[in-house]
Amino acid sequence: MSLFDLGAADLIGGLLGLAVTLVVFSHFIGDNAVFRLVLHIFIGMSAGYIAVVVAYNVLWPKLLRPVLEAEGWELLWVGLPLFFSLLLFARLFPRYSILGSPVLAFVVGVGAAAAVGGAVVGVLFPQVRATINLFDLDAIRQNQENVNLALVNGSIILVGTISSLAYFHFGVRGKAGSKTQRSTWMEWLAQVGQGFIVIAFGMIFAGIYAAALAALIERLSSITRFIYSLVAGF
Amino acid sequence: MNAISLAGIIFLALFAGLIAYFARFKPGSSPSSLRDIPAFSRIRRGIGLAVEAGQQLHLALGHGGIADFKGGSGLVGLSLLERIARAASNSDRPPVATSGEASLAFLSQDTFKSVYRLMYSESQYDPEAGQLTGLTPFSYAAGAILVASDPQVSTNLFSGHFGSEIGLILDAAEQNDSLTSGGSDDLQAQAILYAAAQEPLVGEELYAAGAYLQVNPYHLASVRAQDIMRWVLAGGILVGAVLKAFGLI
Amino acid sequence: MEIVICPFCGKENRAEDETCQYCQARLKPLRIDPESQPGLIGQSPGEESQVFSKKEGKPDSQDGLQASGEVTPAGKPAVSEPSDWLTGFRNQITTQDLTPGPEALDDERQPEARDIRQDFEAGAMLDDAFRSLPFENARDNEESYPEFLPDEPQKAEKVGDVAADDLAWLRELQSQYNEVDGLSSAASKKDEGWLAANELSQDSQKREDERVPRWVGEISAGSLDKQDSEAEGGLSASELPSWLDATRPLATPQIIFGMPSGYSDQVEIAGPLAGLPGLLPAEPEIALGRKAAAYPTQLQVSETNRIQAEIFDQVLQSEGQNRPLPDRVLVSSQKVMRMAFALIILFAILAPVFSLQTLERYPAITPVEVLSASQIISRIGSESPVLIAVEYEPGFSGELDAALAAVLDHLMIQGAFLVLVSSVPSGPMQAEHIVGVSNQVGPHQYINSASQKEYINLGYISGGLAGLRNFAENPRLSNPSDISGEPAWENPVMVNIDDINDFSLVIVASENHDKSRAWIEQTSPLLEDTPLIYVVSAQSEPLIRPFFDATPQQVQGIVSGVIGSVHYGATIGRQGIAHLYWPSFNSGLLAAAILIVVGGGANALLALTASKNGRKPGGKSL
Amino acid sequence: MKSYPFVYLLAAIAIASGAAVLVGYFFPSLAGLKGEMLDWAVIFTAVLLLIGVISLVRTHWRKIMQDQKDRAYSLVLIFSFTLTLLVAAPSGPTSKWSMWLYENLLIPIESSLLGILAVFLLYASARLFNQRMNIYTLLFIGTVLLALLGWLTIPGVDLEGFKDARDWLSSVWAVAGVRGILLGVGLGTVATGLRILIGADRPYGG
């Protein structure tokens, strides 16, 4: 694609992208004023997009339009969220911020319940069930897996899950003078658990590097393609 | 009501009962009855050094919304903030808390205000201490980079929901030669903290911060309740696995 | 049985014991000939010397001091009349101290000045003097005796007793010299001062010097004043060593040694100093000196305390000075290592691009989870509604655009109707972006087809988990309109959709494990037979994998990052964006492995040498 | 916290709303009330997002007005915020020019930030030996190397063995560690939430 095929918008866009990418890469050398400038541009843009998305997707369809379209008693029920939302706006003024505290308390209460309920229903029980199901011989046979290998793997996961859970055990008997005060079997189990945890972190860490590497490659390849199109254009 | 709901209710009732029991009837135990976690002693010393040297302490609360599942670690961060604000309220440079979500930012400002009211120095309260630095994960990290790379900041603590962008804040803190410590509920953030922070908190250790830094007796009680419930889960897994292997369930 | 408390070590002894069984100190004072020996301080004529004694087991706060009768060696009567030097001392205090100072001119203070005389008579002034003396042992013995010396006038005579007994240490000193070489007894017999006989030979003189306690030795014949004047005018002041000079108190209190007149020609007739004229009285008043009215400011401070006080003082003073911030080291070793890493990685990525290298060899075996995803999408019919949750941040566009583009390209070929949604605020724009990118992958015009729009963007689901739950249960109520505000559900493809199970396929694209899991927990219970495919980043693949391996399967297919996308392209024979990235990705991984090994090895060596030199690892690093 | 009557009101609201939602998780028949409260929470979360935007912009506006240090940066932030609003608000965030701004400025900046993270991650893992020299560091670095080699293809070198080892490590050993961590984090989350539901922690200004 030569320079002339590029519209003005694409040309300016490409130059903008090239510039901000090089400024961000200048952070390798060290912190500098231009890098901070780009960070502020980025924070401002993100806030702008969020304001527009929230307005289009939540405020208008779920808050304002129902109030405008509601009649009679329905207006009261539909208007309540709007009223409490206006109380939340009081948080912006220190003198009246106390008006918004009840709504914030409501959000904290609902959030705490969602966290507790989600943790029990969505994490603790499913993980316990998944570990138990590793020893479901019928399912293993149904998946045509090698039963022995599956049981070995299941046992490793069982031991790893329980030992890494034991690693977090906090209570110790007597004064915590010396570093390890837990009983010997607990300490041994915790050290095995720490090994499993570290392996999990290693796998995740490599994945994060791969994702970051892909982002770096995308930036560099878009820069080289853009420069090629500029050079090819002349 | 199905079996899962019933098990859930029993589990939560037992958990809440243990917390109330340990807090009400056996408050005697102290942090010394907990295993040694070096990160917390470094955090305590970091708070002291920051106050003594007149430098600033930065607590990053992440961008986990309070209203949803990711808010758990943010709430732990708010308890930590209350303890830090109490210790550092008379320092030359009071601590600063950055967050990437509006409800977290308002709650951190509330925490500062109630601590200063407790210390009868409400005039010192500065709303800027609880900063909202950005509204998406990476724009929050961009704002937190600007705070972490301030030469006056000597200690950076992380307690909240983060993603991989926590690496950018750790990078800025490391270039500023300041102490980095903390934890998160997100696995990606924990993996980066494990590799890059000087004193990482692994997994559940973050949730024991209130007990180790003695925020209030309920934190110590809930850590002891967690220890018991941990072995209830472990026992359940073991028994379940054996019964499943023998086809009994 | 009556017990006696040893004044030195505080241990109990039997009353009849001469010396303490623990520290051999004399319990019974030697009785010296009253005529020649000055009376004890504070002892009025006729009063007997008193020894502290305590009935066993009966601490009595009032009469702890009990007269236990007269105990005199060799039957000599107790000393009665007060010594000359004491009366001289008293007169001196009364004349000098009571002369009204400037503050006395102040009328209110006048009565206080007159009271000083009565206080002194009642021994109060002595209390102050005694209070500064090191009478710890004496005070410790007195269980019933209050901690500090009493202020009340009526206890003043006890003070005298305290002093009498406290002089025991001097007598004990004297007895020690008598026992050491028997010399003193010759001296006391001949009634000459042991130093008066100057004709002793040089070595005996030396021996004498050694035996004489150093502080006595320093007090040469004649009064201290004479010594001072010599120091000033006569002999040149001896050069004190610097360390000694440094230890001299900076502001020594002006102890005015006013000696009663005519005192200097009196010759000592007994005791170890017999024969020496004009000796300073060894009695406590030497220590007394005549202090200025103000309390002594000089504490008894040991050397280490003084040094610590100085350090503390320096710390306090340094607080005041503003120390300039240490200027930042421009190029530290960490920065050099960081730049080296950056250059190597950039080179590893750009080398394949500039050499126009293409992918020689696909990774051999296609993973089963990618194959499964490809097979499911191959079965999607034209105009089937497919829900695509775009849950990743714009930063991960590099990796997830590549992975998702391959899948969307395949769906576009199948002619599926895409329904885009996101629970991330920047999701709606990201969804629009990825559809545009996917449309450019293959030679198909998915977006610009003549028929009605082939996709719809429902925009943002707010409220996190709760919002997801609401959307899964009732998408129409959750997102009634599309991102640009138009009614979303009137499109013919969308008309029959009431809950999430009515979609033909659900695809979740996310870089974060929590968001991925949230969709599984909130939607999989409602999905029933609708397949769920994940397009994830490589960082969350290990965490989603268990849901694919689980039985029953909660996730029916996984495409993970650039590698998954390359595999997916191989299954449908189409080269997507990932194929452009693959050579750089491959060399980037290799460079990373090498850098970790080399950099890690170098830092491990640093850590080993640091621990060998006794430094804790964690210090200087490359 | 200094208690005053208003705190008890806030605590009552938090506990009541939390209990209502929690009950809805376990008693499907009462899920209706939970759904309604979650709906309100969804709206309040979105409103909080908007209030957050206003609070962020006001903070930087105050920096400019009070002539504080770095006010130039704040000016740039407010300018880019306003420009984005003007471009995206009229015809929606996915309109042509809004997407132009998004694809040519926002994505490049965020991708570049993630890109420089790659170098920092390598530097941090290389330096780990100096910070914590123990068996677990060796295990961590070994796992990272194995994972990287498992993805590699080097012409003429057969790395399939690494790939199988990586898959086994990922699907068995890593899963075990992840489960342990998730269970631990789950227990911590439940404890944190329960402390709020029984009124022990009151982060809402109580």
Which tokens hold the place of C35? 């005529």
Mean pLDDT score, A159-166: 93
Q: What percent of chain C has pLDDT over 70?
A: 50
* Nearest to B71, CA basis, from C465, C462, C394, C426: C465
DSSP letter (8 states) at residue C37: S
Which tens digits make up the pLDDT trace of A32-63? 899 999 999 999 999 999 999 988 888 888 77
User: Above 60 in pLDDT, residue C61?
Assistant: no
Position C45 pLDDT exceeds 80: no
Structural domain harbouring D46: 1-91
3-class secondary-structure state, position B85: helix
Q: What is the pLDDT of residues D29-76, one digit of tens each?
A: 777 777 777 778 878 888 888 888 998 998 889 888 887 778 899 999
Q: In terms of DSSP bridges, do strands C3-5 and C53-54 run parallel, antiparallel, or are they unpaired?
A: antiparallel
Q: Is residue D40 part of a domain?
A: yes
Q: CB within 8 A of C383, min separation 6: which ones?
A: C415, C416, C417, C493
**The pLDDT value given to residue B30:** 59
Residue D109 CA to residue D71 CA, distance in Å, equals 22
- Our separate counts of H helices and E strands in chain D read 8, 0
Three-class HEC string of A58-74: HHHHHHHHHHHHCCCHH
Tokens of D195: 């402390």
pLDDT above 90 covers what percent of chain C? 13
- Predicted confidence (pLDDT) at residue C107 exceeds the cutoff of 50: no
Among residues C592, D51, C554, the alpha carbon closest in space to that of A126 is found at C554
Rounded distance, CA C279 to CA C226, Å? 12
d(CA C320, CA C328): 23
Instruction: Give the residues across from B156 on adjacent strands.
Output: B58, B180
pLDDT value at position A234?
57
**Confidence check: pLDDT of C365 > 70:** no
From B63, A35, A94, select the one nearest C424 (Cα to Cα).
B63
Mean pLDDT confidence for D109-135: 91
* Percent share of chain B, pLDDT over 70: 95
Residue D140 and residue B196: Cα distance in Å, rounded? 12
CB C131 within 8 Å of CB C160: no
The 3-class secondary structure across C514-573, one letter per residue, is HHHHHHHHHHHHHHCCCCEEEEECCCCHHHHHHHHHCCCCCCCEEEEHHHHHHHHHHHHC
Instruction: Say what the pLDDT of residue C298 is.
Output: 60
pLDDT for the residue C509? 95
The pLDDT, as a whole number, for residue C126 is 41
> Contact at 8 Å (CB) between D195 and B72?
no
Q: Write out C323-381 in H/E/C secondary structure.
A: CCCCCCCCCCHHHHHHHHHHHHHHHHHHHHHHCCCCCCCCCCCCCHHHHHHHHHHHCCC
The pLDDT tens digits of the residues spanning B103-125 come to 888 889 888 888 888 877 777 77
- pLDDT tens for C494-547 read 888 888 889 999 999 999 888 888 888 778 778 888 999 999 998 888 888 888
Cβ neighbours of D2 in B, within 8 Å: 114, 117-118
Q: How confident is the model at residue B217 (pLDDT cuts 50, 70, 90)?
A: confident
Q: Residue length, chain A?
A: 234
Res. C41: pLDDT tops 50? no
D113 occurs within a structural domain: no
Asked if residue A125 lies in contact with residue B4, where contact means CB atoms within 8 angstroms, the answer is: yes
C368-371 contacts, C-beta under 8 A, 24 or more apart: C369/C545, C369/C548, C369/C557, C369/C558, C369/C559, C369/C560, C370/C557, C370/C558, C370/C559, C370/C560, C370/C564, C370/C567, C370/C568, C370/C571, C371/C571
Record the tokens describing residue C6, joined without a space.
Answer: 């040893």
Domains of chain B plus CATH, in order, are: 49-215 (3.40.50)
Confidence at residue C27, expressed as pLDDT on a 0 to 100 scale: 77
Residue whose token pair is 């030469």? B151
Task: Name the residue in chain A with its Cα closest to that of D81.
Answer: A44
| D107 within a domain of the structure (yes/no) | no
Yes or no: say if D36 and A80 are a contact pair by the CB < 8 Å rule. Answer: no
CA end-to-end span of chain A, whole Å?
A: 12
Residues 6+ apart with CB under 8 A from D91: C484, D98
Residue D45 lies in a domain: yes
pLDDT-derived band at C226 (thresholds 50, 70, 90) equals very low
Residue A229 neighbours by CB distance under 10 Å: 17
Q: Which chain C residues have a beta carbon less than 8 Å from that of D105?
A: none
Q: Can you tell me the ipTM of this complex? A: 0.88
Q: What are phi and psi of C277, to 5 degrees?
A: -85, 150
More confident of the two residues B72 and A58: A58
Q: Work out how many CB contacts closer than 8 A connect A with C.
A: 142
Interfacial D residues in 149-188 facing C (CB < 8 Å): 149, 151-155, 160, 163, 170-171, 174-175, 178-179
- Token pair in block for residue D25: 């998780």
Q: Count A/D contacts: CB-CB distance under 8 Å.
A: 373
> What's the pLDDT tens digit per position in C230-242?
444 444 445 566 6
Task: Compute the Cα dihedral for A105, A111, A116, A117 and give only its sign.
Answer: positive
What was the pLDDT predicted at C116? 43
Q: Count up the domains in chain D and report the number.
A: 1
In the structure, what pLDDT confidence band is assigned to residue C67 with cuts at 50, 70 and 90?
A: very low
Q: 3-class SS at B27?
A: coil
Averaged pLDDT of chain A: 85
Positive/negative CA dihedral, A123, A129, A133, A139? negative
* Full-model pTM: 0.74
Residue C138 CB-density burial (10 A; 0-12 exposed, 13-18 middle, 19+ buried): buried
Chains meeting D at 3+ CB pairs closer than 8 A?
Answer: A, B, C
- Checking if the pLDDT of B155 tops 70, the result is yes
* Model confidence band, residue C453 (pLDDT cutoffs 50, 70, 90): low
* Distance between CA atoms of residues B128 and B135, nearest Å: 16
| Chain B: partners with 3+ C-beta pairs within 8 Å | A, C, D
C395 reaches B (C-beta below 8 A): yes
Choose among C147, C148, C174, C171: nearest CA to C51: C171
Distance CA(C277)–CA(C256), nearest Å, equals: 21
**D72 lies in a domain?**
yes
pLDDT at B224 over 50: yes
- Closest chain D C-alpha to C399 CA, distance in angstroms: 10
Q: Are B207 and D189 in contact (CB under 8 A)?
A: yes
How far apart (Å, rounded) are the C-alpha atoms in residues B183 and B168?
Answer: 15
Q: Which residue has the tokens 């506990």?
A: D15
pLDDT at A41: 95
Q: Reduce the DSSP state of residue C462 to 3 states and report it.
A: coil
* Per-residue pLDDT band at C195 (split at 50, 70, 90): very low
Q: Give the 3-state secondary structure of residue D31.
A: helix
Q: Kindly report each contact of residues C371-374 with a partner whose C-beta sits within 8 Å and lies 24 or more positions away, as own/partner.
A: C371/C571, C372/C556, C372/C557, C373/C407, C373/C533, C373/C556, C373/C557, C373/C558, C373/C559, C373/C568, C374/C410, C374/C557, C374/C568, C374/C571, C374/C572
Domains in chain C with CATH codes? 84-246 (no CATH), 368-584 (3.40.50)
Angle at C604 between CA A189 and CA B205, to 5 degrees: 35
- DSSP three-state, residue C457: strand
Amino acid letter, D115: G
**Are the beta carbons of D48 and C479 closer than 8 angstroms?**
no
Dist CA C548 CA C562 (whole Å): 19
**Contact assessment for residue C562 and residue C581, using Cβ atoms and an 8 Å cutoff:** yes
User: Alpha helix (H) ranges present in A33-170?
Assistant: 33-54, 65-69, 73-89, 97-117, 125-133, 137-142, 147-167
pLDDT over threshold 80, residue D186? yes
* Mean pLDDT across chain C: 67
Q: What is the mean pLDDT of residues C557-566?
A: 90
Residue A182: closest C-alpha in chain B: B35
Q: Is the pLDDT of residue D16 over 50?
A: yes
- Cα-Cα end-to-end distance for chain D: 7
Pairwise CB contact (< 8 Å): D121 & A110: no
- CB-based contact, C525 to chain D, within 8 Å: no
D75-100 as b/e, with b when 16 or more CB fall inside 10 Å? ebbbebbebbbebbbeebbbbeebbb
Among candidates B96, D45, C198, C431, which has minimal Cα distance to A104?
A: D45
Q: Please write the tens of the pLDDT for every residue from C16-32.
A: 888 878 777 777 765 44
Q: What's the one-letter identity of residue C428?
A: P
What is the pLDDT, as a whole number, of residue A208?
Answer: 94
Q: How many Cβ atoms sit within 10 Å of the Cβ of residue C362?
A: 14
Cβ separation C429–A49 shorter than 8 A: yes
At residue C257, does pLDDT exceed 70? Answer: no
In a domain, D62, yes or no: yes
Do the Cβ atoms of A220 and C353 come within 8 Å?
yes
**Over residues C397-420, mean pLDDT:** 90
- Res C337 pLDDT > 60: yes
pLDDT-derived band of residue C296, with 50, 70 and 90 as boundaries? low
Kind plus residue range of the DSSP H or E element containing C388: strand C385-390
The mean pLDDT of A101-115, rounded to a whole number, is 87
CB spacing of D16 vs A109 below 8 angstroms? yes
Nearest to D109 by CA among C467, C394, B45: C394
**Facing C603 at nearest CB: one of D38, D43, D129:** D129
Dihedral Cα B153, B156, B162, B166, nearest 10 deg: 70
Pairing of strands B179-184, B153-161: parallel
Interchain contact C349–D (C-beta under 8 A):
no
Q: Is D112 a member of any domain? A: no
Max CA distance (Å), chain D:
76
